[in-house]
Structure 1
Amino acid sequence: MLHRICRFFGVDARILLEPVDQIRSEPRSLLSHSFISDFIGAGVTHLSEEEFPSGFFRFSRAAFTEEDRFVVGLVHITRKEGFTFLRGFEPKEALSMHDMPTDPRTREFRGMVMPQAEGLAMLVSRRGAVTTSFNYLARVPALAKTYWVGYTVRTTPENPTGRRAARLVYEYLGRDTQLILNAARTAGYASAEELVPFHRKQLRIDEPFV
């Protein structure tokens, strides 16, 4: 009978059985769960275009598995329903060297971007939560609208022959078609000499990352 009455009036039967302050609707996502929403979830939707604009970015970092090589790539930043997201693709060579498929679906990675301290943080992964990494970026003061510099850390056990952390540079290309196409053509593995000069300078390739 209680169920029929509550259904007729469109109310939750728990309002008659539980204290009101204990009734919670189902969380829409992990980050909105009441246990962490005030700690992590609270800042996820407050990254403005001024702080980190939508559009295309070129990035450079040291390769994790190749000691003397670097990875240059292109990512797209977009906003949906108040959240900021990232999307890009791993270099084909990065997967082929491990005998993995190199189709776009396998190479694609996505992530979320959120404010963090004096900069922003990114949690990025390939499909199925594969090869997850944490990135932190802060603006370059003299070039605040164009460059962000920080580091990336991959979630992997310690390996004496590879890196787990490396410096990272992001360059905003906006929606400039020519710049975007040029960046796409040079995406992949690169030597230090092939890096964009300003990227090479910010990566400080002769200094160990600490």
Structure 2
Amino acid sequence: MPQSDLDTSRSSAQSEPAYLRSVFGANLRELSKSAPSIAQLCRDLRINRTQYNRYLSGEAFPRPDVLHQICTFFKVDARILLEPLADISNGDVTYTGGGSRIRAAIEEAGIAQVDTNKLVPGAYVMMRRSATDPEYLVVTLVSVRQEPDGSMQMFGLLTRTLAERVGLPTSIRGRRMNGVFFQHPGGFSFLAIVRNMPIWDMGFLENAFMGNPNLFYGYSIVTQRFVAGGQLIAPVAFKRIGSTMRDMMAVRHVIGYTHISKMSQPVQQIFSKSDVTPT
């Protein structure tokens, strides 16, 4: 990769948490609609109005204690960092952009329901080797949850860095990714679809890397080559993280286009040993 691209990638990786601020800001704007006024709301929360406006616009992110204060006040949890408010508040919601279509395939195939003791619902980081630079990973924060019909669904946002690099829409709506997991004797396969785009990511993950029940690894294939010489097949891993505000904020620095050296040792082992012949 040219040095200029590396510099841009490093800069973008450092600013990638901006998309988390965008999700949080959008949810906070929706929650704030119930208040008689923003001024009164700021007084009740004991937060400076100028700073609160920066939260609303996605320009700033609150400290953990302030974030906890906001979540407690509105009676919501840390998922407001990741999922649209409508998905959090409506337990019967069906994800658009792939969920309903995939559900029919599950029923027709008769694949067993996913074992939630092995693939525990919650927050995960999805890591895939870059198609252009083997020393970098595309790291995405995703939410895995079991739907009322028993299927295990996945929701996430493609990073803004990745969207910009491959020419995809950079709006939050345009970067939404939905998927579903299938269970097999040795692990799980998954199918993920980018909202309103003919881009599918299909992969298989083996259970428990080196005995770690929260770390899954394998390979995935995408249905579109975004850059000349880019690989369709690449190593992939999912790592479960806690769902508290502290857990969410702890991983925000690796979200985006991230050098492998910044990841944990088990993750580095996965991607240092994984090799794929270009296709």
Q: What is the TM-score normalised by the length of structure 2?
A: 0.56
Q: Is the 8 A contact 1:77 1:85 kept in 2?
A: yes
Are 1:54 and 2:121 counterparts? yes
Q: Distance in 1 between matches of 2:161 and 2:225?
A: 22
User: Residue 219 of structure 2 is aligned with which of 121, 135, 151?
Assistant: 151
- What corresponds to 2:177 in structure 1? 109
Aligned partner letter, 2:276: F
CA distance in 1, matches of 2:106, 2:143: 25
Q: Which runs of 5+ in 1 are unaligned?
A: 1-28
Partners of 1:198 and 1:157 in 2: CA distance: 28
Post-superposition CA distance 1:7-55 (Å, at most 9, x none) = xxxxxxxxxxxxxxxxxxxxxx63267xxx2xx2x115x1121121100
- Residue 67 of structure 1 and its aligned partner are, at CA, apart by 4.4
Q: What SS is found at the alignment partner of 2:251?
A: helix
Task: Indicate conservation of the 8 Å contact 1:151/1:166, yes or no.
Answer: yes
- Which amino acid in the other structure matches residue 31 of structure 1? A
Please give the residue correspondences for 1:50-199 in structure 2 after superposition, counting only pairs within 5 Å.
Answer: 50-80=117-147, 81-140=149-208, 142-156=210-224, 161-199=229-267
Query: Cα RMSD over matched residues?
Result: 2.4
**TM alignment of 1:21-36, pairs within 5 A:** 30-31=104-105
8 Å Cα contact 1:72-1:190 kept in structure 2: yes
Question: Aligned residue for 1:209?
Answer: 276
- TM-score (structure 1 length as normaliser): 0.73
Gapped runs of 5+ residues in structure 2?
1-102
Greater fraction helix? 2
What percentage of aligned pairs have identical amino acids?
15
Name the SS for the 2:199 alignment partner. Answer: strand
Structure 1 residue 197: Cα displacement: 2.1
Please identify runs of 4+ aligned residues in structure 1 that moved more than 6 A. Answer: none
Number of matched pairs: 174
The structure having more radius of gyration, on CA atoms, is 1
